[in-house]
Amino acid sequence: MLLNVQEKTLLLIKPDGVARGLDKEIVARVKNVGLKVERQEKFRLTEKSAADLYSPHLGKKFYAGLLKFITSGHLIACVVAGENAIASVRELMGATDPREAAAGTIRGDFKAENMFTSDGTIKNIAHGSDSLESAEREIAIFFGRIK
């Protein structure tokens, strides 16, 4: 059972989602479940910031592809707040692999026909923090420390 805990999390609308103009619809879905978007800004990540973001994946075979993809275009970073924000955003996004994401989720509804980059990296539209610790670290990459 989830306790009703006020949290902040990071939601990224990745370059594929921004290029396809999905940012307004994704933000609307977040708001429609009662979460608040406290900050929202468009970024183009540097290699260093991308490496900081994906540091937990350093050494994994897909790491280089993640960096290349996330720096390939603009993204939208959002600080999302509300009850159980981390779990709620992750539920809204759906499974990491869009082919496995349920209908009604962001990744399920907006999966592209060609959802892989030339090196096999999955283009899955969005990223959400997976824990309070990750949320704090990831938000700081984009917005500095937030209380």
pLDDT in tens, 10-34: 999 999 999 999 999 999 999 999 9
Can you spell out the DSSP letters for 100-135?
GPPTTSHHHHH--SS-B-TT--B--SEEE-SSHHHH
Rounded to two decimals, the pTM is 0.91
User: Do 139 and 8 contact (CB within 8 A), yes or no?
Assistant: yes
Q: Would 36 be classed as within a structural domain? A: yes
Q: Would 132 be classed as within a structural domain? A: yes
Query: Could you give the number of structural domains in the chain?
Result: 1
Quick one: which of 87, 132, 109 has its CA closest to 28? Answer: 109
Binding site for ATP: what residues are annotated? 14, 62, 90, 96, 107, 124
CATH of the domain at 137: 3.30.70.141
Q: Would 1 be classed as within a structural domain? A: no
Active site residue ranges: 127
pLDDT of residue 122: 84
The 8-class DSSP code of residue 96 comes to S
Binding site: what residues are annotated? 14, 62, 90, 96, 107, 124
Q: Would 68 be classed as within a structural domain? A: yes
